[in-house]
Amino acid sequence: MKRYINTLVLFSLFVLTVSCSDDFLDRPPQSQIIPEDYLYEESQLAAYTINLYGILPSHGNWSFGTFGIDSDTDNMADLSYDNKYVPGQWRVPQTDGSWSFTNIYNINYFLNTVLPRWKNGEITGSENMIEQYIGEAYFFRAFEYFNKVQALGDFPIVKKNYADDKEVLIDVSKRTPRSEVVRFIISDLDSAAAMMQNTSPDGNKNRLSKYSALLVKSRVALYEASWLKNFKGTAFVPNGSGWPGAAKNYNQGWNYEAGSIDAEIDWLLDQAMEASKEVADAFSLTPNNGVLQQTVTDSQNPYFDMFSDTDMSGYDEVLLWRDYDQGLGVVHNVPVEAMRGNATVGLTKGLVDSFVMENGLPIYASGSGYVGDDYIADVRSNRDGRLWLFLKQPEQINVLYNVNAGTHVTPVEPIPEIINRIYATGYAIRKGLNYDGAQANNGQGYTGSIVFRATEAYLNYIEASYLKTGSINGTASSYWIAIRERAGVDTDFNKTIAATSMALEAAGDWGAYTAGQLVEPTLYNIRRERRNELFAEGLRWMDLKRWRAIDQLMTQNYHIEGFKLWGPMQNWYDSGELTYETGTATVSSPNRSTYLRPYEKTGGELVYDGYSWAMAHYLDPIAIQHFLITAEGADLSTSPIYQNPGWTLKANDGAQPID
């Protein structure tokens, strides 16, 4: 994709106050090809906004793409643990971090330039397409702001680009309470939905549409409703106990008196339900014929193919996808990684155990028919069709066509290569696998990458409506049945709920908790359905945060585990390969667990005793650079920016306890 606009590299909107010699903030983005009269034609609007699509998640090269984003959660693990699970090791940075305005600056430049010209009739081209591209800009500003809310919570609302005036820039750096920011995001998404077309204007679903905006609106509203509900009264919600914005008097007219948070939650749930229903009712789920293709004569399975096709435009539930082109050099390595090792990202035992049997019963329930996990084939037997379809087992066929065409083809799934650090947990997945060996030229894959699919709207509605009413209404029931039917699971979700033991589910699912307490079985099974449908699609961390589902790690460490190595499967490996002596260990000791623990081999790992947590880690720390820029002299407390709860104003400090 040709770059029409060069992204400005800024520490933040305010880093430029250090030097007043250049008015970068009131200039257009720098590029040799942008003339003074740029953004007067429809084609120029199209070129500018297509450059913003890099904000969205997609497959990057030399990785497992979007399928690896869920790593470092209770769903997936790679070969390196994340310091956020070691209190004291995630520290306040001196520079960089999530506090930045580069994308916001570029989007505001577009809107501030184009909107007046459009209203004055100064832009030539199709009116519908001009509105489409303006709608896309509103969408991207909303999406970028949602990223900021997830990372930082309260954040400045900046709608225009300012001249290089230090006092002005310091003033606009004041953080706005998160719920006001979310209202701003929803307003931008409403504008985007109103201006963008019902279907992608390129006819291929490679550009945004109204329904992408509505899906993200439902995501944002559900996120904030969940956050406010689950963190109510704490320092993580405006005017909660210890909220740092109180010291700066940053309520800005928003009413956070008693009861108003509940009213805001209700409003947000209404927004989530309305938007998600509009999407869910407009798009059907891709069929799952229950076939795992292993020969060229087997029927293809559309549900499987949807995640790795080279053309995803024909799948109704796919709202937006990224197209790749080998001829243009727009490529990635996901097909190679899907054939072998998933780029060292593996599923956890906790995720695998969460899938119910095809009869709808949890694996531990009487009469479930679960045959155990001595072998990966046993794990897949008679399970939820999503696990059966997407969990790989040795000796399955990975390539059906052009077997010798690629440089890095893995024709048959090997035993999990845990010794040479290719398979992290022993459990590998098939999402992203394409049966064409020509896709396995190293780094030259061109399968599509799903950005948004309508199934999320089904799930958003189920959860939002239950949080709103405390019951499963007819619409939610119909959506839930449709998801389970496509998954090949008994559609009676009440059967699953009745057989659920929260104590047993809690062993492997952080989503069983909110604020350190077990949730009730119906809400848990809504969360379970979401986990099982959307696993390896990059939404798990977002869900865990909004559910406040990690508090329990502050008092009880959690051990990341993979497959049952210390059972019959140990015989897959040669004698001497499986060593667990200190200093020479290749795997974790059976004395610790019969299941492989990828971070507990040598005893020197900081998470050798399991993952832990600090309350402050629900939000990122703000780098000291941004306080220095906006403070009076060296006194950082004079900055209008305030640090997030539990983080200090000293670089390299770890998280502090929160009262």
Q: Give per-residue pLDDT as tens, 491-521.
A: 999 999 999 999 999 999 999 999 999 999 9
Name the one residue in this structure whose structure tokens are 């994340």. Answer: 82
| 235-292 residue pLDDT tens | 999 989 999 998 877 665 555 555 689 999 999 999 999 999 999 999 999 999 999 9
Residue 459 has pLDDT above 80, yes or no: yes
Residue 27 has pLDDT above 50, yes or no: no
- 379-415 core/surface letters (b: 16 or more CB in 10 A; e: else): bbeebbbbbbbbbbbeebbbbbeebeebebbbeebbe
Residue 10 has pLDDT above 50, yes or no: no
Please indicate, yes or no, if residue 161 is contained in any of the structural domains: yes
Q: State how far the Cα of 602 lies from the Cα of 598, in Å rounded to an integer.
A: 10
Please indicate, yes or no, if residue 271 is contained in any of the structural domains: yes
- The token duo for 17 is 């106050």
Q: State how far the Cα of 445 lies from the Cα of 405, in Å rounded to an integer.
A: 12
| 80-103 residue pLDDT tens | 999 999 999 999 999 999 999 999
Please indicate, yes or no, if residue 428 is contained in any of the structural domains: no
CB neighbourhood size of 606 (10 A): 13
Burial of 257 (0-12, 13-18, 19+ CB in 10 A): exposed
Residue 7 has pLDDT above 70, yes or no: no
DSSP 59: P
Percent of the chain with pLDDT over 90: 89
Residue 459: C-alpha distances to residues 448, 454, 478, 563 (Å): 23, 9, 11, 29
Q: Count CA within 13 A, CB hemisphere, residue 94.
A: 1
**Higher model confidence: residue 613 or residue 251?**
613
CATH number of the domain at 176, please: 1.25.40
- Give the pLDDT confidence score for residue 164 in this predicted structure: 80
Q: State how far the Cα of 442 lies from the Cα of 286, in Å rounded to an integer.
A: 30
Angle of helix 474-487 versus helix 521-534 axis, rounded to 10: 50
- Give the pLDDT confidence score for residue 16 in this predicted structure: 27
| 111-154 residue pLDDT tens | 999 999 999 999 999 999 999 999 999 999 999 999 999 999 99
Distance spanning both ends of the chain, measured CA to CA? 50
Please indicate, yes or no, if residue 68 is contained in any of the structural domains: no
Residue 378 has pLDDT above 90, yes or no: yes
| Rg of the Cα atoms in the chain | 25
Contacts of 142 (CB under 8 A, 6+ apart): 185, 186, 188, 189, 192, 213, 216, 220
Burial of 263 (0-12, 13-18, 19+ CB in 10 A): exposed
Q: Where are the beta strands (DSSP E) in 177-216?
A: none
Residue 593: C-alpha distances to residues 80, 343, 381, 424 (Å): 19, 25, 23, 16
Residue 33 has pLDDT above 60, yes or no: no
User: Any idea how long the chain is?
Assistant: 659
| 304-358 residue pLDDT tens | 999 999 999 999 999 999 999 999 999 999 999 999 999 999 999 999 999 999 9
- Give the pLDDT confidence score for residue 5 in this predicted structure: 25
Domain count, the chain: 1
Please indicate, yes or no, if residue 147 is contained in any of the structural domains: yes
| 172-184 residue pLDDT tens | 999 999 999 999 9
- Give the pLDDT confidence score for residue 212 in this predicted structure: 98
Average pLDDT (519-538) is 98
Please indicate, yes or no, if residue 633 is contained in any of the structural domains: no
- Give the pLDDT confidence score for residue 254 in this predicted structure: 55
Please indicate, yes or no, if residue 474 is contained in any of the structural domains: no
Average pLDDT (19-32) is 32
Average pLDDT (224-236) is 97
Please indicate, yes or no, if residue 52 is contained in any of the structural domains: yes
Domain coverage including residue 212: 42-59+83-282
- Give the pLDDT confidence score for residue 260 in this predicted structure: 87
Q: State how far the Cα of 570 lies from the Cα of 581, in Å rounded to an integer.
A: 16
Best CA proximity match to 405, nearest among 336, 331, 344, 327: 336
Average pLDDT (11-22) is 28
